[in-house]
Structure 1
Amino acid sequence: MNNRIVICGGGLMGLSVAYNLAKRGVKELFLFERNCIGSHNSSRVNTGLFVSPMFYSEPSLRSVARKSLNIYNELAATGAFEFNKCGRVYLSSTDESETQARRLLTRLVTDPSSSFQVEAIDCPSEMLARWPMLATEDVKLAVFSPLDATIDVSGLSRILADNCREMGVQIFENCSIKKVLINEESRVYAVDTDEGFIDVMAFVDAAGIDSSLVDVLGLPDADHPVRIAAHPCSFTFLSTDPLPHCQSSSQSQPVFVCMDENTFICPLKTKTICGGFTMEGGDLQALPPSSQTSKGSVTEWHMPTPVWDNFRIILRHLIDRCPELAQLSRGELMTSAEMYTPDMKPLIGESDQAKGFFLATGLNGQGVSFAGGLGSVLAEWILSGSSSIPVDKLELTRFLPLHSNPHYLYLRVPEIAFNTPKNPLSSHQCHTARNLRTSPIHHSLRDAGAVFAEIMGYERPLWYNTASHFDQDSDGPRLPRPSNFSGEDQLIGKPKWFPLVSKEYSTCRERVGLIDMTSFSKFDIQGADVVPLLQRLCSGNIDCPVGT
């Protein structure tokens, strides 16, 4: 029986999948990297920032990050790479960000696996005494998360590769995968590489930003590749000299995150890495293709060169928060890219288009935090057919075909890159690439004051706000206000929509309410046992005459 598994990609994700499969006893493992191991790790650019598992509000992401932490702790015991548990400080300067910081604080202090001391400081002078390089007069709250770390990603990639080789994994560097072949039963059966053909049981696409570029032959719909709802987006970081306070201090400094400015500062003894995310200035860009086939398929991405003018907004925020940065003599602006998904969660699992075709990509700039854990989850999935932890919110099949549309992704991913450091709630609504699917009476609902939310690409009314449907300039005409809701409710206090929904509820209860059900699933069930089935499934009595 053929038990060969081929992995495409020699970054952290691909190496983690190979490492976890080999630990589970798989003998015929082949990993292909078209350059050198770890050469395209975007996580290497930002000094391998590992985020504490409790940062994530989504339980499945916490479980994945915790698995990663356990794997890195095991590997760090060998002393082969730097794993600096320096911690992270979240700085909040507004009431809104303070609420988010206190939510994070609650998760951190209730973490049963942590023996480290979580701290919350609400005195600016105490913050300044502890971190004298910062301007803290406007900071309302600082939360110290002790499990955050910086990791030598190159060293981690090297030790993962060494462990894989010791367990029998065959690693091919400077060797590309040309094609993945699918048979008539829609199953992967072979891979064509620079080293020749390999018959396989499974293929794992963990090629990072090149995941969507893998050529797959034999799909039922030959004109469309494997659907991957992810697209690369570039971001910019500044690497500069170490801060004076870091050079004079014997202790390592934590990573500082300014929640309101969406910036971070990573002060190391040898250098300082800092950056941020903004929708202004053109700093975040979805990557355009640099070359395409005759059918329009992308074969390579165009990586933009860093532009100081695009970085100026972020740089101003960084200097305002850390004035010492302005005193440093030199700095190098660097650009890298990551794969981002429409809902800010990774893509993992088996494609519904080709059996045996597995995917692990779309880590949304959190590659170090997720790679180890996702490798463990996917290895278990490949060998047993399922995962021991619930990852339904991470499965690639959660998306519809329309979410893989290149134009949609091109518009959406810069906003995802901007929001990822904020860890928004699952109810968060984006403002880009909206109105994918609408009801036939969408315009009538909008004119009636509907405020819409996107659910699986469908615009559905959240509430109706007829009083504020129009914005009127003092000297201009009455203009329709945007009807798509974006952002999220803070879930604290009385929401702004409460009186609107209360009025709607009263109308439905006391009079008549008309609800547009277009976006809801409808099933036509037929057969001799349809009544017993529905009597079991439905709360109401189905066994009654038609029309009653």
Structure 2
Amino acid sequence: MTTELPSRARVVVVGGGVIGTSVAYHLAGLGWTDVLLLEQGSLSCGTTWHAAGLVGPLRASESGTRLVQYSAELYSSLEAETGQATGYRNVGGVIVARTEDRMVQLRRTAANAAAYDMECELLTPRQAGDLWPAMATDDLLGAIWLPGDGKVNPTDLTMALARGARMRGARIAERVRVLGLTVAGTAAGRRVTGVRAEVAGEEHLVEAEVVVNCAGQWAKALGDQVGVTVPLHSAEHFYVVTEPIAGVHPGLPIMRDPDGWTYFKEEVGGLVVGGFEPEAKPWRSPATIPYPFEFQLLEEDWEHFSVLMDEAVRRVPALADTGVRKFYNGPESFTPDNQFLLGETPGLRGFFVGAGFNSVGIASAGGAGRALAEWVVEGEPSTDLVGVDVRRFAPFNANNTWLRSRVAEVLGLHYAVPWPNRELETARPFRCSPVHDRLAAAGAVFGSKMGWERPNVFAPAGSQARLDYTWGKPSWLPWSAAEQRATRSDVAVFDQTSFSKYVLAGPGALGWLQWVCANDVDVEPGQVVYTPLLNRRGTYEADLTVTRVGPEEFLLVSSSAATVRDLDWLERHRPDGCGATLTDVTTAHAVLGVMGPRSRDLLQPLTDADLGDEAFPFATSRVVSLGFATLRATRMTYVGELGWELMVPVELATGTYDLLKAGGATDAGYYTIESLRLEKGYRAFGRELTPDYGPVEAGLVFATALSRGKEFLGRAALETHRAALAAGGRRRRLVSFVVDSPEPMLWGGELVLRAGVPVGQVTSAAWGETAGACVGLGYLRHDGPVTHDWLASGGFEVDVAGERYAARCSLRAPLA
């Protein structure tokens, strides 16, 4: 490996850990051989070398599972390709449960495995003990066996990827510290042009078309230099390596005891004993990490580690009499939501990130490296990476004080029971709507989305405004049921201020939108169009409404979490020479949804605008007076009832809210929105609508201009999808369902079966008060067309933590 730097490379990868070497390996494999990887120390010297090396393919989502499955396949074949051993061994994994709540999680995990065609077996405590003889089982309720789990030597794996990258044509230079980036252009259109690097005290400039930031816990500091959001923060992570233990051998499975926050794997006859303690220890902020920091550990902290060691001894009693060879305290980087960061950064073209792997970097490196390399080469992801897309965060997420608080909680939840409605508690309240205090006084139980404090549900007078976590029916369900009844039969008000809102205006605005929107937005001013934004593959990048305000002015309203992603996608597809401006106006306006059959009765006395069906039909938007306020009223609904979304200047929001409450509107929250939209079959971006699916599979071709002559991004692929549907054959299709029994509580993610055979998975589910049972949406797969007749033939069940309940599936929503 060389330290002689070229003056130019097509791609510069910053960071020689397992992620950086994987990206270089895959880029070269895709034909981009002019790749230069720069490492400030020696390969693997940052975080990679002290990783535990666990490779568990089964993840919470199908996209995440496929990513790690590929990693395992790659690691098992790398030695044959490169001649460099990786230490990969497929030993299987055991996860044990001490509590019934944990057993429910494991049963749900087993159902996920069935949905993804992976092996997983539920075990009794005795069976678990047979697989792991050194383990105490007297306090266990059960376990699962994952035969696909494996382990690998992190440093050897990195060396194998590096050798593979060099064999394919990439160059690797060690002892080269990247000082910063070079950038060209203005704030409206910046692009990375290279890196400034230091070799033996001398500064060098390397020009590049693309720079990939795989700098681990240094990645944020590099992004900060150029105003790019890379939200991660280091935390101390602990494990020990013990002396040999009788019965421990190289083929011993990995064992995880999440109720004790611990994991175990064999190493040289002893055990690696590590875990994720519930109260974590953040380390330095990214800008203060020392240099050099090569193959270094932090000070031992036996007091902090004791909570893990005490639980480890409980699970493996032999540890009480076994010596410790080495105590590892190595910092690792964590993100605010426990998902890693991948993709091209908004606002700086050509600058990609692969960092913040939250202690799953070894397992994820193969798949993440391939995905990021494909993104670089193709210009967009080839699969659904929304959950790890760097664009899910906004600039305010880069605040180091906020990150320090949040990351301590995130690490501590790594082995917590993954409650389906878990809300993070740290660094809150954060972004508050203008009516936040009024909602709090009314009993709001807040959740958080894109930093916004949003009411999930309202506690009635005399009840404590808090969430409880359970796999069954929660204590707040009657509160949401009452809100649902009010919306269906009377009128409710929803604080939807967190909606993303953009104004696109100026010369060329119409042409720009006509290309990126799959539906036709060339309508009369005051009309609203529901439309997807598709990629070249004809699958979803966004799902929003477009209101035409004037000849070349449009208002776009999208989901709360999509702000940065949407704006970036739109700017990427700005037509050459287009002079229109795109402005984020999210924080300038509150949104109050007034929904229910009595919504017109409430609003009409407050305005001189005619709200009747003929004067103000569905999908109409106008500026009106309402009391003392002038605001935009849009007749649109996400709950399936008569209603208006009122977009109110923030300074007028409290007065408007008070008028609505005085008119008798019931406060309602996002849990109620979820239930009501599922009863009506309304889709949500990120769950039903993702880059893995298009309008054909989602049943939303009607929301496109495919039947008309308009050209739009993704049209050719969408035509191919429709033709494939007409030709028959195996495919997936989104369906609505209602569970026959009112007993079970569904949260999403459940397995769907037909005649006992897995055929799909629930994407969203909630209690439907009008339906009298849980309702939801899910994609089903079938060797032939998913038709009304096939669905009506029945035989469908949902697996709710091992219990199966009959369900009725249909292409029509329960309350269509």
Cα contact 1:452–1:459 (8 A) shared by 2: yes
For residue 480 of structure 2, the aligned residue among 494, 501, 510 is: 501
In the alignment, the residues of structure 2 paired with residue 305 and residue 393 of structure 1 have an alpha-carbon distance, to the nearest angstrom, of: 34
Structure 2: any 5+ residue segments left out of the alignment? Answer: 1-7, 511-521, 531-544, 547-616, 625-632, 634-816
The Cα of 1:503 is off from its aligned counterpart by 1.6
TM-score calculated relative to the size of structure 1? 0.86
Deviates more, 1:263-272 or 1:147-156: 263-272
Q: Which residue of structure 1 lines up, in the alignment, with residue 220 of structure 2?
A: 212
Q: Which residue of structure 2 lines up, in the alignment, with residue 199 of structure 1?
A: 207
Q: Which residue of structure 1 lines up, in the alignment, with residue 812 of structure 2?
A: none
In the alignment, the residues of structure 1 paired with residue 256 and residue 375 of structure 2 have an alpha-carbon distance, to the nearest angstrom, of: 35
Q: Deviations for 1:12-39, whole angstroms, at most 9, x for unmatched residues?
A: 0000010001111123211111111112
Q: Deviations for 1:367-420, whole angstroms, at most 9, x for unmatched residues?
A: 111111111111111111012111122211111111111111000112211223
Q: Which residue of structure 1 lines up, in the alignment, with residue 273 of structure 2?
A: 274
The Cα of 1:532 is off from its aligned counterpart by 6.5
Q: Which residue of structure 1 lines up, in the alignment, with residue 393 of structure 2?
A: 399
The Cα of 1:128 is off from its aligned counterpart by 3.4
The Cα of 1:214 is off from its aligned counterpart by 2.2
In the alignment, the residues of structure 1 paired with residue 306 and residue 234 of structure 2 have an alpha-carbon distance, to the nearest angstrom, of: 23
SS in 2 for 1:531: coil
Q: Which residue of structure 2 lines up, in the alignment, with residue 477 of structure 1?
A: none
For residue 19 of structure 1, the aligned residue among 25, 49, 55 is: 25
Q: Which residue of structure 1 lines up, in the alignment, with residue 105 of structure 2?
A: 100
For residue 194 of structure 2, the aligned residue among 178, 190, 194 is: 190
Give 1:192's aligned amino acid. R
Distance 1:521 1:213, change over 3 A: closer
The Cα of 1:74 is off from its aligned counterpart by 2.2
Distance 1:216 1:541, change over 3 A: closer
Q: Which residue of structure 2 lines up, in the alignment, with residue 154 of structure 1?
A: 155
Structure 1 residue 238 corresponds to structure 2 residue 240: yes
Cα contact 1:92–1:260 (8 A) shared by 2: yes
Give 1:541's aligned amino acid. F
Structure 1 residue 448 corresponds to structure 2 residue 442: yes
SS in 2 for 1:31: strand
Cα contact 1:189–1:199 (8 A) shared by 2: yes
Structure 1 residue 228 corresponds to structure 2 residue 224: no
Q: Which residue of structure 1 lines up, in the alignment, with residue 697 of structure 2?
A: none
After superposition, where does 1:384-423 map in structure 2 within 5 Å?
Answer: 384-422=378-416
What is the root-mean-square deviation in Å for CA atoms of aligned residues? 2.8
Distance 1:468 1:455, change over 3 A: farther
Deviates more, 1:527-536 or 1:302-311: 527-536
For residue 459 of structure 2, the aligned residue among 438, 442, 465 is: 465
Cα contact 1:68–1:371 (8 A) shared by 2: yes
The Cα of 1:94 is off from its aligned counterpart by 0.8
SS in 1 for 2:217: helix
Cα contact 2:220–2:231 (8 A) shared by 1: no
Q: Which residue of structure 2 lines up, in the alignment, with residue 475 of structure 1?
A: none
In the alignment, the residues of structure 1 paired with residue 469 and residue 379 of structure 2 have an alpha-carbon distance, to the nearest angstrom, of: 36
In the alignment, the residues of structure 2 paired with residue 542 and residue 253 of structure 1 have an alpha-carbon distance, to the nearest angstrom, of: 62
For residue 62 of structure 2, the aligned residue among 51, 59, 63 is: 59
Q: Which residue of structure 2 lines up, in the alignment, with residue 476 of structure 1?
A: none
Higher relative contact order (CA 8 A, sep 6+): 1
Q: Which residue of structure 1 lines up, in the alignment, with residue 589 of structure 2?
A: none
SS in 2 for 1:499: helix
Number of equivalences: 509
In the alignment, the residues of structure 2 paired with residue 425 and residue 406 of structure 1 have an alpha-carbon distance, to the nearest angstrom, of: 27
Cα contact 2:113–2:120 (8 A) shared by 1: yes
Distance 1:59 1:300, change over 3 A: farther
Structure 1 residue 333 corresponds to structure 2 residue 312: no
The Cα of 1:290 is off from its aligned counterpart by 9.1
Cα contact 1:289–1:298 (8 A) shared by 2: no
In the alignment, the residues of structure 2 paired with residue 7 and residue 207 of structure 1 have an alpha-carbon distance, to the nearest angstrom, of: 9
In the alignment, the residues of structure 2 paired with residue 230 and residue 184 of structure 1 have an alpha-carbon distance, to the nearest angstrom, of: 27
Cα contact 2:343–2:389 (8 A) shared by 1: yes
Cα contact 1:365–1:417 (8 A) shared by 2: no
Q: Deviations for 1:95-146, whole angstroms, at most 9, x for unmatched residues?
A: 110011111112234443x5xx633222x34443443311111211111101
SS in 2 for 1:134: coil
In the alignment, the residues of structure 1 paired with residue 376 and residue 330 of structure 2 have an alpha-carbon distance, to the nearest angstrom, of: 31
User: Percentage identity across aligned positions?
Assistant: 28
After superposition, where does 1:14-413 map in structure 2 within 5 Å?
Answer: 14-42=20-48, 44-52=49-57, 54=58, 56-78=59-81, 80-112=85-117, 114=118, 118-122=120-124, 124-185=125-186, 186-195=190-199, 196-214=204-222, 219=226, 225-246=227-248, 252-280=251-279, 284-289=280-285, 292=288, 304-413=298-407
Distance 1:127 1:397, change over 3 A: closer
Q: Which residue of structure 2 lines up, in the alignment, with residue 5 of structure 1?
A: 11
In the alignment, the residues of structure 2 paired with residue 381 and residue 523 of structure 1 have an alpha-carbon distance, to the nearest angstrom, of: 26
In the alignment, the residues of structure 1 paired with residue 462 and residue 266 of structure 2 have an alpha-carbon distance, to the nearest angstrom, of: 47
Cα contact 1:347–1:395 (8 A) shared by 2: yes
**Higher strand share goes to which structure?**
2
In the alignment, the residues of structure 1 paired with residue 434 and residue 528 of structure 2 have an alpha-carbon distance, to the nearest angstrom, of: 32
Cα contact 1:290–1:300 (8 A) shared by 2: no
Larger C-alpha radius of gyration, 1 or 2?
2
In the alignment, the residues of structure 1 paired with residue 318 and residue 92 of structure 2 have an alpha-carbon distance, to the nearest angstrom, of: 21
In the alignment, the residues of structure 1 paired with residue 384 and residue 287 of structure 2 have an alpha-carbon distance, to the nearest angstrom, of: 39
Distance 1:125 1:374, change over 3 A: closer
In the alignment, the residues of structure 2 paired with residue 345 and residue 39 of structure 1 have an alpha-carbon distance, to the nearest angstrom, of: 23
Distance 1:423 1:317, change over 3 A: closer
The Cα of 1:428 is off from its aligned counterpart by 3.0
In the alignment, the residues of structure 1 paired with residue 416 and residue 406 of structure 2 have an alpha-carbon distance, to the nearest angstrom, of: 16
Cα contact 1:287–1:303 (8 A) shared by 2: no
Q: Which residue of structure 2 lines up, in the alignment, with residue 474 of structure 1?
A: none
Structure 1: any 5+ residue segments left out of the alignment? Answer: 220-224, 471-480
Distance 1:429 1:168, change over 3 A: same
Distance 1:545 1:71, change over 3 A: closer
Give 1:190's aligned amino acid. G
After superposition, where does 1:510-529 map in structure 2 within 5 Å?
Answer: 510-522=489-501
Cα contact 1:289–1:299 (8 A) shared by 2: no
Distance 1:9 1:425, change over 3 A: farther
Cα contact 2:177–2:198 (8 A) shared by 1: yes
Deviates more, 1:188-197 or 1:308-317: 188-197
Deviates more, 1:349-358 or 1:419-428: 419-428
Give 2:44's aligned amino acid. G
In the alignment, the residues of structure 2 paired with residue 336 and residue 106 of structure 1 have an alpha-carbon distance, to the nearest angstrom, of: 35
Deviates more, 1:453-462 or 1:167-176: 167-176
Cα contact 1:6–1:203 (8 A) shared by 2: yes
In the alignment, the residues of structure 2 paired with residue 215 and residue 516 of structure 1 have an alpha-carbon distance, to the nearest angstrom, of: 34
